[in-house]
Amino acid sequence: MPKAVKDLLQPDVLEDKSTSVNVGKGGVNVDAGKGKPGGGTHVNVGGKGVGVNTGKPDKRTSVGVGKGGVSVSTGHKGKPVYVGVSPFNYVYAANENQLHDDPNTALFFLEKDLHPGMKMNLHFTQTSNGATFLSRQAAKSTPFSSDKLPEIFNQFSVKPGSVEAEIMQNTIKECEDPGIKGEQKYCATSLESMIDFSTSKLGKSVQAISTEVKKGTKMQTYTIAAGVKQMAADKSVVCHKQNYPYAVFYCHATQTTRAYMVPLEGADGTKAKAAAVCHTDTSAWNPKHLAFQVLKVKPGTVPICHFLPEDHIVWVPNKKTGE
């Protein structure tokens, strides 16, 4: 299973009787059934898949929240790095701070450049707080909306007006704002809800892929190696991890994407398998979005791609079933 998924499963959930999670080896293939009467939520991750069966939630579910806190990255001078909208939200324009301070700007490229031998300067990042998912029941009972901000700040001991509060407020706002034309968006606050959204858009049998880098990395030159693999179908659900006290993913589905797994080798020998998503129709994106400014192209002209940070996830139809 992708490390990005495994890292989201917290021990509290593994021990809870109403939610069983069995982690094995291999990829993640999801078959979502209607559930068994009288049971809780079962997520079985084995050598060939994740079987998800949703029954009635157990009232005894109890999950500790906020252990990771909200991370605030700092630059080499000790000042906070860019705090603002996600570069993977295509409604928003990029400002100067994002263009210069957000390391994810380097992840955007043109599809025509996706071939062996191509060199790119990349820095694969993770949200540094290690936040894990809540159980579905705990997520449902935890407020997550702009009109509940005072209650949310109090629950997580966050001071209103602080950088942490601004980050949390931005995350919630991005989840509440409408998406671009042709985009279906959803913010998942539990693993079950992320799987439910993905299977509702792609069919019951899906596969999760994510970027995996062999060791801690820095900004460096990577070369695309042989073995670029296009995933099945021209549709996917891409889920971007947000900075929040517990795991929240901004997921969006469009019918105009192609997903790839791309082998990379860094100048220092670091090897990576990077998940990449290419958007074939960018005509509805904000004309001042970061990608257009970095790549010097206009909306709707050429397919635009981006690699995914290590803790983001792409869901695609399972090739074996053809769904």
Contact 206, 315 (CB under 8 A): yes
Give Cα 52 distance to the centre of its chain: 20
The pairing of strands 257-266 and 220-224 is: antiparallel
Return the domain boundaries, the chain.
Answer: 17-74, 79-317
Q: Is the pTM of this model over 0.75?
A: no
List the beta bridge partners of residue 23: 45
Closest CA to 91 of 250, 233, 311, 307: 250
Q: What is the pLDDT of residue 86?
A: 66
DSSP state of 237: E
How many beta carbons lie within 10 A of that of residue 122, not counting itself? 22
- 8 Å CB contact between 24 and 46: yes
C-alpha–C-alpha distance, residues 145 and 151, integer Å? 10
pLDDT by residue for the chain (323 residues), tens only, comes to 677 676 676 554 434 433 333 333 333 333 333 333 333 333 333 333 333 332 333 332 222 233 334 433 333 333 333 345 566 766 666 666 666 666 666 788 999 999 999 999 888 876 555 788 888 999 999 999 999 999 999 999 999 999 899 989 999 998 998 887 878 999 999 999 999 999 999 998 999 999 998 876 678 899 999 999 998 777 899 998 988 999 999 999 877 889 999 999 999 999 999 999 999 888 888 888 888 888 899 999 999 999 988 888 999 998 654 43
Q: Which two tokens stand for residue 92?
A: 């928003």
